Structure 1
Amino acid sequence: MKKLTFIYSLLLTFFLVSCDRSTTDEPTNEATVRVLTTNPWKVDKITDLNGNVINTASLPEQSKALFGINIQFSDDKTVRAIDPIARTVINGGTWSFLDNEKTLDIDIKDLKGQFPINKLERSRMVLLNKITYNGLTFNVNLELVPAL
């Protein structure tokens, strides 16, 4: 009887150890998602990496367009660009976290790419972005605030 119990416990152990526990999605901290999805965001300013504000007039047209939209992230991993005056959806797409919530992958027309997250708090989000102007590429910070 002891041998039979030992064999069953050994088989059960091998079975449990051999189960695939890996997932394809990285686990997401619910608090981080809540901060991102609680309210729409708007670009407050674009700065260089030293924190100096870049004059809006000297930005390329695509970057200037970011000031005219609110960005709403939803729990279902969708994102929408919203006209803040008419409150209509301009376009939409998807979002996800990458690299253990260190990068935000956004896929909408006006804001598409993988953006390393410098800061994500309830009152402020700072994303690293690359802009191209007159053939030169610059690293800048997109500083977003809640659009209330």
Structure 2
Amino acid sequence: MLNPKKNVIDHEKDIVVQEKGQFIEILGDTTSSKQLIVAILMSVVVSLGGYKLGQYIFPKIASPQMVNSYSLLLGIAGTVIVLFLNAVLFKPKRILVEDEISNSTMEDVFKDLQLDIDEELRLIDADPITKRELNELGVLANFENMKRVNKK
């Protein structure tokens, strides 16, 4: 768990390191536990409230066989509204730091992940779509430069 109020800046790496506190990791993403609980409760209350409201309103204006369907649609509409409300209320807590990729940083990543540059380039060459995308992003040139440097 991480606490958003206790941020420490690591000037060497120019990133923000968050100390332990009130964040949790769920489905591979980091979120505030309090905000997660509030968002879930809001979604459940509005969804069930919309369904129950539909059960009360629709018998007066719709045919009996359609009451459950309309009520379910009202509950789903409430869920979609709460989805947008949660997105506005609870902004992401991530701090993304973009850094220029150089051969040395790529080499460090490959070493850390124990990847083989020749194998990676072979896989890239085998997939023309991936090769085109990496070329458009300028990353393929870094791979090829790294291979040349490693062979020297």
Tell me whether the two structures share a fold, i.e. TM-score over 0.5.
no
Larger helix proportion of the pair:
2
> TM-score of the superposition, structure 2-length normalised?
0.20
Using CA pairs under 8 Å that are at least 6 residues apart, name the structure with larger relative contact order, 1 or 2.
Answer: 1
